[in-house]
Amino acid sequence: MDRKYLEILKKSWKCIKDWPWSRIQLILRAVLLVLAPLLTVLACQTISLQGGGEAAAWMGNHGAAVAVAWLILVLAELAVFGLTRLGSLSCFLTAVLPLGLTLVSYYKTIINGEPLMLTDFSLAGNIANVAGFAMDRITISAATGWALTWVLLLIAVLVVLDVLIWRHPDPWRLDFRRGGALCGGSLLILAAAFVGGLENFCVAQYEAYPMQADRDAGCGVSLSLLSTLVGSQAKGSEEYSELRMQQILQDMEQDLATQAAEEDAAEQKPHIIFVMNESFFDVTRLPNVTFSQDPLANYHRLESESTYGQFYTITCGGGTGWVEMETFTGVSMEELAGGTANTELTAAEYEALPSYVRVLDDNGYETIAFHAHTSELYNRDRNYPHIGFDQVLFYEEFQEDATYAGGYFDDDSTADVIISLFEEHRDDPTYIYAMTMQNHQPYYAGRYDPERLEVESDLLSQEDLEVLNCYVSGLYDADQMLGKLVDYFSQVDEPVILVFTGDHVPGLYLSDTESIYSKLGRVPTSTSAGWSAENYRDMLSTDYIIWTNFSQGEGEQANSATMMGATILDLAGVDNTPFFAWLQETGRSCMAFHYGILTVAPDGSLADEENTEIAAFRSAYGDVIYDILYGEQYIAGRVNLAGG
């Protein structure tokens, strides 16, 4: 019996040895390469949803998105494989981009509540500086670790197969000629698929999900970004034509004439001071929280003699440079092609765009910009001269007598810079723009010693209160800055307009599932996926005040980054341009702000989605920006001419 079994074992071993192992290895590698993109999609969704079960359920419910993502990834993988003939390298190079994008989007969402957007790529060169603001919140969760491990294990298996296949040649193994054919054929199929249906799919997703977070939830981060790139390409409306643009120009010139007729000639042009204060907003609007004293005593005191209200911007928790540029130009970043950041345009594009700073410069103003930090982000030193600033200054030039709070050049010192620049240039009409830095994130216990006031809420833990208290301490100092400027300019003889506003609400995020806002009940979730228009209205609104030393304000009014420049020019009574007169007279009469699913009416309420006046203005507005930057430039030169 023993001899019989031994013979069986010998025959079995001989059969195994005679198997075509090299061919089996080739087949196994091919199967793994076909399945690898599905594992990549699963890993990406595990990171986004922080759970493997949730990721698998998502894939089951979003078959079309999964199929499209798989097709793109597998064809890209086969193209790389044709060049390298290495399955492990092909898998790695194909997986690293979607995984990288998903990781960045996940961590950005934790920090600011908003996902990765195409405009964020403009900050890629400063990634170390940006990440430095929130390194304490960048940790690898168990779900993220498992997702990356799955992909690494697959790559490891493919490495072993690559080595075995190269050690045992097989006629089926790709040579250079067949590899080149595979690469070329895969790329041709990918191009044909894009033209034949993928492009339409991306456009449909872009239109179906106006907000990036919802698009991510429906498509996955990588496919969502691709849909944004494809769907947001520049195009005019169906009515775009020379005749239509001439009609719009006539409307603009009529608004300019109306505005000019309503204004009294000023004896002296007013000086204009514009402060965009980092993360400034009326924190007392938050529900379920109390304060030991009013953190915005000066702001609230000045409301009765000023124009004030909510100031709508395109971002929350970050993106200051984009808000600034929208405010300077009156051009919504939604109108730029392919997710282009408005801080990354060419000199010729900036000079073609409207700019209220340039209008003031044409009216004889000395135009000065000061940023209470470095020039590293948003290309301020390069871009600002193109939109009309005569001087662009940064904090390094004012460090000698400056003070610091919370780790940054403080708001009190920024007020001193503004006053000194005014004293230096007050003989001529002067426009001074200042962007503060003191109340920038991160917010943590011990940043201010002592804290300026105490915050209480039954819905927040002690650690949560320390985060909020840190922010409110910086906000208290911002309010003191406002009071200092008003006290000073109340005493000068020349007319002065002071605009004081926030760039975005602060990023008060506590974890990947909670924020100060969600715990207090301001929004349902810490991240923006699934938010309603009302939620966006709450989170995309800071506060502003316009105070002058020569006239009473107009009370509470909604305003926004796209409309504020028109408001300033109208209040200053300078020779205006057709574009800004049109924004003020026609635009602000029907809407205060638009972004994605959010449209705000002039009174600050949510606008009626069926409002034909708003639809007509938005269509005309889009055609104007298209004509200036991408179209036939039928009226591009004339919309920016002071006096029409």
Using one digit for the tens of pLDDT, what is the confidence trace for 157-201? 999 988 887 776 655 566 778 888 888 999 999 999 888 888 999
Cis amide leading into 450 (omega within 30) = yes
Higher per-residue pLDDT: 370 or 452: 370
Q: Taking residues 65-85, what's their average pLDDT?
A: 92
Residue ranges of domains in the chain: 15-231, 265-574
* Cβ within 8 Å of residue 480, ≥6 positions away: 298, 411, 412
* Cβ within 8 Å of residue 250, ≥6 positions away: none
The answer to whether 426 touches 270, Cβ cutoff 8 Å, is no
Confidence bin at 350 (pLDDT 50/70/90): very high
Cα dist from 235 to 49, 353, 583, 631, whole Å: 35, 17, 21, 8
Higher per-residue pLDDT: 529 or 94: 94
pLDDT score of 617 more than 90: yes
Decide: pTM greater than 0.85: yes
The answer to whether 320 touches 117, Cβ cutoff 8 Å, is no
Q: Taking residues 219-226, what's their average pLDDT?
A: 94
Higher per-residue pLDDT: 317 or 8: 317
- Look at residue 401 in the predicted model and tell me its pLDDT: 85
Higher per-residue pLDDT: 444 or 274: 274
Using one digit for the tens of pLDDT, what is the confidence trace for 115-138? 898 888 887 766 655 555 555 666
Q: Taking residues 573-590, what's their average pLDDT?
A: 95
Using one digit for the tens of pLDDT, what is the confidence trace for 362-415? 999 999 999 999 988 899 999 999 999 999 999 999 988 899 998 999 999 999
Closest to 593 measured CA to CA, from 620, 628, 618: 618
Closest to 544 measured CA to CA, from 275, 272, 273: 275
Work out the angle at residue 504's Cα, subtended by the Cα atoms of residues 500 and 505, and round it to the nearest 5 degrees.
Answer: 105
* Cβ within 8 Å of residue 86, ≥6 positions away: 162
- CATH number of the domain at 265-574, please? 3.40.720.10
Confidence bin at 26 (pLDDT 50/70/90): confident
- Look at residue 178 in the predicted model and tell me its pLDDT: 80
Using one digit for the tens of pLDDT, what is the confidence trace for 592-605? 999 999 999 999 99
The answer to whether 473 touches 452, Cβ cutoff 8 Å, is yes
Q: What's the rounded Cα separation, in Å, for the pair 366 and 306? A: 25
Q: Which helix (H) or strand (E) holds 263?
A: none
pLDDT score of 307 more than 90: yes
Strands 496-502 and 271-277: parallel
Strand partners, 500: 275, 545
The two most distant CA atoms of the chain are separated, in Å, by 119
Higher per-residue pLDDT: 347 or 376: 347
